Structure 1
Amino acid sequence: MLRPRISIGGRCLMQSRLLSTTTPKAYQFKNPASPPDTGYVRLTNRGLISITGADSATFLQGLITQNMLVANDPKKPTRRTGAYAAFLNSKGRVSQDAFIYPVPSAENNEWLVEVDKDQVPVLLKHMKKHKLRAKLKLRALEDDERTIWSSWNDHSQQRWAAYNLESESASTSFSQIIGCIDTRAPGFGARIITPGSDGLRTHFPDESQLTGDEVGLDSYTVRRILNGVPEGQSEIISESALPMECNMDMARAIDFRKGCYVGQELTIRTHHTGVVHKRILPVQLYTENLDSTAAPVYDPSAELSLPPAGSRIMFTGPRRRGQPPGKFLNGVGNIGLALCRLEMMTDIRLGGREETDGETNQETLYTPGKEFKVSWTTETEQQAEVKMQAFVPSWVREHIQSGGVRKSAPIGQPPAISTTERAQKMLEQLEEERTQRN
């Protein structure tokens, strides 16, 4: 009987196992099940901060990468939809990844900020440092005040509402329930914030409003990794990672046309003049031979030890001098996320690359069949090693090859291909790939 496997963006090949089973029997691996096509999860690892007051919108405008103002609409000075965003430090490094939600009220001056739960006191301290004389109040919400959910339906075309962030349909906003489309990957789903600690079915009893069943947080983590979506400061390393390296430009978390905010200078300079050499990508972990696949394949029965977070990825074979190909961030079973140097670990070739006559650059460029590994010492002082292969999701590849936002049409001129047309094209590709897998 075949073991269940799941992949994204390509065929899933079943000819042989990816992993070795030499792990001692005394250690029992308990990997989560493959995530369902439809479902929802209670995000107990995330916390909320409330910002209320007349200056709340302008206060956030000066701190986050997202634009709090609706362009070309004087009647709606602040955005009415939630959005993915980031708080940066003065050097342009990500301090926290966050979701920003407007709370519907007559004054429209209340916002909720969602971050990693252990980052709530850190972000509160950061906000208070920049509060100065702004007319607002900051407060961390208790766990039973509101609940954070992630909901998805892989068969629903509503996923492309993510490309219209200022649309009324792009944000759930009625009664005390708020939320937004999760734009970090195509079709990734929606974020929902409900009052109290009741289950999501209490608020959405109709199957047409909410499909699927509740799953565990670990299955949601598997889904994130398969889609190449990092979350939290265990994967987006605080004060170290650049927002574009964390794919925040593709996730619509950065408005490159907005005014000044903390960390803007380096972000804009990289956007206009620099090349993003590193990005967070999904990786396949294995110890023997890797089947040829177009996307990472998750095997819940895999018995594989994971490298420590932050481990350096190295080339297999003779050790080479120079910068390492990447850094391992997090994993589940036989899949993970890694910060990868694109030209070393993938077939992506970047423009503006400095050419030299030395052999080092040619040796470190990626070629088909080249393997990478992570070696480390376990708690029992034994040497462990695992191989890994990086994958570039189709939407990431398209963004890089098209030059990203930098090559978009000038203001006032229509783009060569509309966002809706591009989204529909990607939708057709994903549906064709799903048909091939089935």
Structure 2
Amino acid sequence: MHDWITAPGGRQEAEDRIAFDTPAPARQALDGTVVAPLVHLGVLDVIGPDAEQFLQGQTSAQVGLADGDFAPLTVFCTPKGRMLANAQLLRVAEEHFRLLMHRGLVPSLAEHLNKFAAFYKADLRVRDDLALIGLIGREAPALAEVRLDLAPPTVWHQRGDADIQLLGHPGPRPRLLICLATKRASALWARLAEQATPVGNAVWCLQDIQAGLAWLTPAHRDALLPQMINWEALGGISFKKGCYTGQEVVARAHFRGQVKRRLVRAQLEGGELPPLGSPVETADGKALGEVLAAELDAYDQAEILAVLSTKEDLGPLSVAGQRFKQLKLPYPIERLDPESLAART
């Protein structure tokens, strides 16, 4: 499945995990520029004359804002407002939208949306023929511009055409995501690796954690409200659009302030990575939250994203026997309208 990256030295450790023998990969991203295969992400396309109208009724994004420049975050919910998947939405051509999300949720979201697509002139296509490559580091924008001949986009914006897309993502270092046909990925990877150090996708996932950006996985499907992963603070919810599935519950939680758990960023005092869903516990063993993502940082300490109770005095906390130290998020917990993000270039 990942021959384009295992051939040049990548080692497949799991279906959604590729590693290289590069020493201290997370530190490489601090000091230089790295390139990573984003095999944990997948693609679902929505194509047809009614694609925009269909998506408008299903997702939290104002779909018309996805104009080939702005590529907003979005989320798909159940009628009870629980998330089925969160994604980045981009327009790659007329009547052609693309959703990037965790690869484990692509089949289930496609199955869910197909129930409604039958009433529209819109087709859903799981794109196993596409590759996703990440660039991280100070020189990443310049490298992308030289190798792709595309001006680097700002965060949550895009450049390119129907054949290749370049997307700006947030993080402590400049980050760019490239989407292109798998048959072209080997050649591009080789050109990028001439000037960027190959690392596994764990480094990209660590940068997501440090950006306070949680991608839903099958472990938490149909379990959380969007606000529990701070999605409205990242511009992932439009409160100015009309109805979509789950909209009433999502809006009520926002306007009545009924969110009792929130996404937090933390470091664990130890190098053991907790499994997804591991409880965040008080000193007496009471679970007040759970882990959504975990990776080792440049100093071999576990950094995590967890959904945690919003009660102010929680006392000492731990995960898998490791002390839990909450870290500051890189954004305020307040509503950020995607309409304002779309205006930024």
The TM-score with structure 2 as length reference comes to 0.75
C-alpha deviations, 1:214-267, integer Å up to 9, x for none? 3211222222223332223157x1101111111211221111101111111111
Distance in 2 between residues matched to 1:319 and 1:261, nearest whole Å: 39
Alignment of 1:337-416 (within 5 A): 337-344=305-312, 365-366=313-314, 370-375=315-320, 385-395=321-331, 399-400=332-333, 403-405=334-336
For residues 236-251 of structure 1, the aligned pairs below 5 Å read: 237-251=220-234
Unaligned runs of 5+ in 2: 1-22, 142-150, 297-301
1:217 to 160, 176, 201: 201
Contact kept, 8 Å, 2:291 with 2:307, in 1: the verdict is yes
Aligned twin of 1:362:
none
* Counterpart secondary structure, 1:249: coil
- The structural deviation recorded for 1:67 is 1.0
Aligned twin of 1:68: 63
More strand by share: 2
Q: For residues 51-130 of structure 1, what are the structure 2 equivalents within 5 Å?
A: 51-70=46-65, 79-81=67-69, 82-104=71-93, 108-130=94-116
- In structure 1, distance between residues paired with 2:233 and 2:239: 12
Counterpart contact for 1:101–1:178, Cα < 8 Å: no
Q: Secondary structure at the match of 1:244?
A: helix
Per the TM alignment, residue 153 of structure 1 is displaced from its structure 2 partner at its CA by 3.3
Contact kept, 8 Å, 1:150 with 1:189, in 2: the verdict is yes
| TM-score, normalised via structure 1 length | 0.61
**Residues 273 and 92 (structure 1), Cα distance of their counterparts in 2 relative to 1, 3 Å cut:** same
Counterpart in the other structure of 1:266: 249
- Alpha-carbon separation, structure 1, partners of 2:318 and 2:72: 36
Indicate conservation of the 8 Å contact 1:94/1:238, yes or no. yes
* Structure 1 residue 155: Cα displacement: 6.9
Between the two proteins, what is the percent identity of the paired residues?
A: 20
Identify the residue that residue 74 of structure 1 maps to in structure 2: none
Instruction: State whether residues 92 and 161 of structure 2, in contact with CA within 8 Å, keep that contact through their aligned partners in structure 1.
Output: no
| RMSD between superposed Cα atoms in Å | 3.4
1:50 partnered with 2:45:
yes
Rounded to whole Å, the distance in 1 between the matches of 2:228 and 2:200 is 28
The Cα of 1:198 is off from its aligned counterpart by: 3.4
Is 1:332 the counterpart of 2:295? The answer is: yes
Measured after TM superposition, the shift of residue 405 of structure 1 is: 4.2
Aligned residue in 1 for 2:27 = 34
1:133 alignment partner AA: F
How far, CA to CA, are the matches of 1:186 and 1:274 in structure 2?
Answer: 30
Residue 252 (str. 1) matches residue 247 (str. 2): no
Residue 96 of structure 1, CA deviation:
0.6
Provide the rounded CA distance (Å) in 2 between the counterparts of 1:202 and 1:155. 17
Distance in 2, matches of 1:46 and 1:197, equals 18
- Contact 2:43-2:99 within 8 A present in 1 as well: yes
Q: Is the 8 A contact 1:160 1:186 kept in 2?
A: no
User: What is the one-letter code of the residue matched to 2:246?
Assistant: G
Q: Amino acid of the residue matched to residue 53 of structure 2?
A: T
Equivalent position SS for 1:151: strand
The answer to whether the 8 A contact 1:147-1:196 is kept is yes
Counterpart contact for 1:159–1:186, Cα < 8 Å: no
Q: What is the deviation of 1:213? A: 3.3
Does residue 174 in structure 1 map to residue 161 in structure 2? Answer: yes
Tell me which moved more, 192-201 or 149-158: 149-158
1:304-332, CA deviations, whole angstroms, 9 ceiling, x for partnerless residues? 4344432322222x567xxx432223323
CA distance in 2, matches of 1:201, 1:340: 43
Work out whether 1:161 is the aligned partner of 2:154: yes
Distance 1:329 1:31 in 2: 24
Task: Measure, in 2, the Cα distance between the counterparts of 1:53 and 1:394.
Answer: 38
Distance change (3 Å), C-alpha of 1:174 and 1:52: closer
Alpha-carbon distance change, 276 to 34 in structure 1, aligned in 2, over 3 angstroms: farther
Identify if the C-alpha distance between structure 1 residues 141 and 309 changes in structure 2 by more than 3 Å, giving closer, same or farther.
closer
Per-residue CA distance 1:81-106 (angstroms, 9 max, x = gap): 322211111111110111222123xx
Deviation at 1:35, TM superposition (A): 5.0
Distance (whole Å) between structure 2 residues aligned to residue 308 and residue 337 of structure 1 = 12
Is residue 233 from structure 1 mapped to residue 217 from structure 2 by the alignment? yes
Would the aligned equivalents of 2:47 and 2:96 in 1 still touch at CA under 8 Å?
yes
Mapped partners of 1:58, 1:186: distance in 2? 36
Measured in 2, the distance between the counterparts of 1:98 and 1:139 equals 15
Contact kept, 8 Å, 2:36 with 2:201, in 1: the verdict is yes
TM-superposed CA distance for 1:40, in Å, is 2.9
**Could you tell me how far apart the structure 2 residues matched to 1:62 and 1:42 are?**
33
Shift of 1:179: 3.7
Tell me the secondary structure at the aligned position of residue 250 of structure 1.
coil
For the Cα contact (< 8 Å) 1:173–1:179, is it kept in 2?
yes
**Matching of residue 315 in structure 1 with residue 282 in structure 2:** yes
Q: How many Å separate the matches in 2 of 1:282 and 1:200?
A: 35
SS of residue in 2 equivalent to 1:119: helix
Does the CA contact (< 8 Å) of 1:35 and 1:219 recur in 2?
no
Q: Distance in 1 between matches of 2:272 and 2:140?
A: 36
